[in-house]
Amino acid sequence: MRVLITAGPTYEPIDPVRFIGNRSSGQMGAALANAATSAGHDVTLLLGPVTATTPTNVRRIDVFSSRDMHVSVLREFPNHDLLIMAAAVADFRPKSVNEQKVERGGTMTIELESTEDILAAAGAIKRPDQRTVGFSLVKRGDLARSREKLRRKNADLIVYNPLDTMSSKTIESILLYPDGRTEDLPLRDKASFAKILIERGEQLFR
């Protein structure tokens, strides 16, 4: 298969030196890229601003902001069979960006606007021969929200991932499918999980 993977955070500029971001390390996406290449697939990795080590035989595209990620996914997805959205894309960005560095002093108010829903955008243009997989980082036990994301984003598989495992070297997850099936995957390291998820991605085409 031709697999498109997104990984890492996005940084949303406030001024030339400051940004809004999150704590994503990119480790999950790097593990998925490793697992996919080991399984013989052609991989494109869209990587946010992190230093995660990636396989040398992966086509890597570095992105910075949610807008960069959005444009890159919609450009690359038509040439791929499977999209795995493992990136922790920012939900909000500053509505306006200061052209000069804001100097310290007083208070500062930043008005935010919602960023694009990239997985939903990919789901809207998905062909019958393509599949999409997303991650749902939510509070522990909130499977209803993950199921709602699965439906709204027209995904073929959603990985429920409890919030308290963020920034960990391990992952505890439940796989959710559109037909109502679920698969519990108890706590394991990200490399082991990545191998399983790539296998489940392959099965979506059968």
**Measuring CA to CA, which residue among 60, 77, 54, 61 is closest to residue 132?**
77
pLDDT digit string, tens, across residues 50-62:
877 888 889 999 9
Tell me the pTM. 0.94
Residue 164: what pLDDT?
67
pLDDT digit string, tens, across residues 150-186:
999 999 999 998 876 666 788 889 999 999 999 999 9
Residue 166: what pLDDT?
66
Residue among 22, 57, 79, 154 flagged as catalytic: 22
**Measuring CA to CA, which residue among 10, 72, 20 is closest to residue 44?**
72
Would residue 22 show up in a list of annotated catalytic residues for this protein?
yes
Show the DSSP H helices in the chain as ranges: 27-38, 66-76, 118-125, 143-152, 190-203
Domains of the chain: 2-95+110-203 (3.40.50.10300)
pLDDT higher than threshold 90 for residue 141: no
Mean pLDDT score of the chain: 93
φ/ψ of residue 176, rounded to 5: -115, 135
